[in-house]
Amino acid sequence: MIPEDKTAARKRARAGRGAVPAAERAAAGAKAARHFMATIPLSPGAVVSAYWPLGDELDSRPLIQALLDAGQRIALPVVQGAGRSLCFRRWRHGDAMATSSFGVSEPLQSAAEVRPKIVIAPLLAYNGEGYRLGYGGGYYDRTLRALRQGVPGLLAVGLGFAAQEMPALPYDGHDEPLDWLVNENGARRFPRRNHSVP
């Protein structure tokens, strides 16, 4: 697998995600939230890292609201710099937010840093083996690898549209697989595996 494979796959994936019809897009966030809440195991009061939607990503805000209503504590990821893992800061309704250099809404630096038990990750595409195609910075892969070494039972959950599944998806030894994938049609669990690629 060469880097150009991922570049081409990202281009196809962006086009596919952008082509999701507006009516389906508008309803997908609430549908995915219902599937998540009905399926993903949640410990009382656990910290769940979500993401604030950017562009044509699946709208995660209905899920964030459902998690808050269920008593979960919400964190949002903060980029700390190229080549570094994400950090997670607590977020509550009404908290002020900053806009990162990537255009992503993030908690302020004054918000408490927390360690999530569940990480909900955005994606450009995913495959039937549980691998996700991200945006190319490697932030989630580095972060999941580190968290899996220190957080027993950590769950990585991809959140996206059903249309984002790609049968042939390039991945390599730097890519961390998902434990679950949730979209507007349901939730899929991927079997635990050795997180290395042959």
Cα–Cα distance measured from residue 126 to residue 148, given in angstroms and rounded to the nearest whole number? 20
**Owner of token pair 């957080």:** 151
For residue range 51-88, list pLDDT tens digits in order. Answer: 999 999 999 999 999 999 999 999 999 988 887 899 99
Average pLDDT estimate for 102-118: 94
Q: Which domain holds residue 161?
A: 3-93+106-189
Model pLDDT, residue 2: 53
- Decide if 196 is inside a domain: no
| E strands in 80-185 | 87-91, 97-99, 105-107, 113-114, 118-121, 125-126, 132-133, 155-159, 180-183
CATH number reported for the structural domain that contains residue 83 in this entry: 3.40.50.10420
Q: What percent of the chain has pLDDT over 90?
A: 82
- Decide if 99 is inside a domain: no
What is the count of structural domains for the chain? Answer: 1
Relative orientation angle of helices 61-69 and 22-39, to the nearest 10 degrees: 30
- Decide if 10 is inside a domain: yes
Q: Name which of 86, 76, 67, 60 is nearest 160 in CA terms.
A: 60
- Decide if 112 is inside a domain: yes
- Decide if 121 is inside a domain: yes
Q: Is the pLDDT of residue 30 over 70?
A: yes
Tell me the residue type at 193: R
Model pLDDT, residue 193: 59
Q: Is the pLDDT of residue 1 over 80?
A: no
- Decide if 197 is inside a domain: no
